[in-house]
Amino acid sequence: MTELKHIAWPSIEGFHNIRKYFKQCPVESAKFDFPVPYSAKVKLHGTNAAVQCHDDGTVVAQSRETLLVDGADNAGFAKWVESTKEYWQRRAGSCFFGEWVGPGIQSGVAVNQLKRKVFAVFAMVDLETNQYTVEPTTLQLLCQDIPDVCVLPWTDFHFTINWKTDSDSFLEKITDSINKKVEEIEACDPWVKEVFGIEGVGEGLVFYPQVERHNYDPEVYQNLMFKAKGEKHRVVKAKAAATVNPETAASADAFVDMVVTEARLLQGVEKAAPGFDKKLTGAFVAWVLADVQKETESELQASGLSWKDVQKPITDKARKWYLAKS
């Protein structure tokens, strides 16, 4: 019997976080000094989901945070996985990651106007080696006969970066191109329009390094991925989707206003406190605090602030917002 455990999809950072990560790597480390070719896929605004397919025939659905077992579900994803179980059993040794999208999952985007829910696959992880497969043609072959599964293709947007040696001026040219592309996608999601004939708002892009499997390890690979969101979906008030340097705030109050956005608060409701139940206020505030602390370290540091400076005003704003909605 397979011992089941949740397999987390890595938390994908923004452009400036990847740059910071590589600047902090040892200069002498050749492991981090190489040109990285990038391709991008549209980022869909649904709910992160995955299907684990084990060698003994066990198939289990999961959300971003937990296994969906013992009756647990996430917008009908577990029920759908059970209904397609025989297809997944043929993919033993793999975990397929994607976005569960469609009516009733999110709002205000093109993909929630679909007539039915679909699983949009963007990656597969080998359960033995932990290595990633993100190439759409490979994923298409693996998923081609499964009902209500789509594979996200590459967009026509490609570039190459050496994070260790490229100048700020070169990186700014890259971010300018990224920001223009994200604005186009926010205006109209090209994948949803092409596949389903629906025009509407898109979320952004996710950028994947195009390096051969034998040339990287999973930890390095996940630190190379990054994302860029349109203005409506950013959890930090930023001038652009991608920046070379983090945003800064002149005071603790300005920092809180910058990072405790409507998008982040709504994400907290989805993750920790659905239904605006006053009894879940503590859980909601705790999630917001943890999320801000995890994701805005660069902005906090660049603003010359400490966590002690902002913890209470973040708590107050999150609690007040949630109780007003309850």
Please tell me the total number of residues recorded for the chain in this structure: 326
Per the prediction, the chain carries an average pLDDT of 92
**What is the predicted pLDDT for the residue at 214?**
42
Convert the pLDDT of each residue in 136-152 to its tens digit. 999 999 999 999 999 99
**What is the predicted pLDDT for the residue at 31?**
61
Convert the pLDDT of each residue in 57-81 to its tens digit. 999 999 998 999 999 999 999 999 9
Q: Give the residue carrying structure tokens 């709910």.
A: 47
- The CA distance from 164 to 33, in Å, is 6
Region label for 3, one of left (φ > 0), alpha (ψ between -120 and 50) or beta (otherwise): beta
Question: For residue 102, which amino acid is it?
Answer: G
Query: In Å, what is the CA distance from 128 to each residue of 8, 54, 125?
Result: 15, 10, 9
Selected residue with higher pLDDT from 205 and 132: 205
Q: Which residues pair with 150 in a beta bridge?
A: 120
Q: Give the residue carrying structure tokens 């976005």.
A: 99
Convert the pLDDT of each residue in 231-266 to its tens digit. 999 989 998 999 999 999 999 999 999 999 999 999
Residue 317 pLDDT exceeds 60: yes
Domain spans in the chain, listed from the N-terminal domain onward: 15-228, 246-325
Does this model's pTM top 0.85? My answer is yes
Does domain 15-228 sit in CATH 3.40.228.10?
no
Tokens of residue 283, six digits: 């859980």
**What is the predicted pLDDT for the residue at 210?**
87
- The CA distance from 70 to 287, in Å, is 24
| Side-by-side strand order, sheet with 226-229 | 158-161, 36-43, 204-209, 226-229
Tokens of residue 264, six digits: 């982040």
pLDDT band at 219 (very low <50, low <70, confident <90, very high): confident
Convert the pLDDT of each residue in 92-120 to its tens digit. 999 999 999 999 999 999 999 999 999 99
Tokens of residue 20, six digits: 């910071």
Tell me the torsion sign for CA atoms 168, 171, 173, 178. Answer: negative
HEC assignment per residue over the chain: CCCCCCCCCCCCECHHHHHHHHHCCCCCCHHHCCCEEEEEEEECCCEEEEEEECCCCCEEEEECCCECCCCCCCCCHHHHHHHCHHHHHHHCCEEEEEEEECCCCCCCCHHHHCCCCEEEEEEEEECCCCCEECCHHHHHHHHCCCCCEEECCCCCCEEEECCCCCCHHHHHHHHHHHHHHHHHHHHCCHHHHHHHCCCCCCCEEEEEECCCHHHCCHHHHHHHCEEEECHHHCCCCCCCCCCCCCCCCCCHHHHHHHHCCHHHHHHHHHHHCCCCCHHHHHHHHHHHHHHHHHHCHHHHHHCCCCHHHHHHHHHHHHHHHHHHHC
Query: Taking CA 95 as the corner, what is the angle to CA 91 and CA 101, rounded to the nearest 5 degrees?
Result: 105
Average pLDDT over residues 156-167: 92
Closest-CA residue to 231 (of 281, 282, 182, 274): 182
Average pLDDT over residues 287-312: 95
- The CA distance from 324 to 266, in Å, is 13
Query: In Å, what is the CA distance from 174 to each residue of 39, 196, 209, 220, 267?
Result: 13, 30, 15, 21, 29
CB 164 within 8 A of CB 25: yes
